[in-house]
Structure 1
Amino acid sequence: MNLKNFVLESYDEMKNKVSWPKFSFLQNSAVLVLVASLIFALFIGVVDLGFENIMTWFYDLF
């Protein structure tokens, strides 16, 4: 009985009380996350490449 009540109340809350964002807002947010992720990945890649080159140069000295 308790589980049934929980499921029914959860469904009612999700349907009537939660404010869901508009689809266009979700699209804009997804594009923003994608662009930010790509910029971050490129930055980390450049830092890694630079570090690799510095370490290779350093080890070649010995």
Structure 2
Amino acid sequence: MASVANYIKESFGELKNNVSWTPWPEAQKLTIIVVVFTILFSLAIWGVDTVFSKLIGEYFNLING
């Protein structure tokens, strides 16, 4: 159990001292870009799914009667 605690302690030390982090303003800007593109892609996928669902529904209505 001590080795797990030591591993976690060393991991935090490495993250704090050896990792170069993106400056906060740039990280905020990039986060906003990711959120905007995520929303746009989810709306695009929703739209394509809606169109295909209606097309498939119409196709089955056509062949059933």
After superposition, the Cα gap between the structure-2 partners of 1:19 and 1:48, relative to the gap in structure 1 and judged at 3 Å, is same
Question: In the alignment, which residue of structure 1 is the partner of 2:36?
Answer: 35
Q: Which runs of 4+ in 1 moved over 4 A?
A: none
Matched residues in 2 for 1:50 and 1:14: separation? 47
Instruction: Name the TM-score, length of structure 2 as normaliser.
Output: 0.73
Alignment match, 1:54? 55
Residue 24 (structure 1) aligns with? 25
- Structure 2, unmatched stretches of 5+, are none
Alpha-carbon separation, structure 2, partners of 1:10 and 1:38: 34
Letter in 2 for 1:21: T
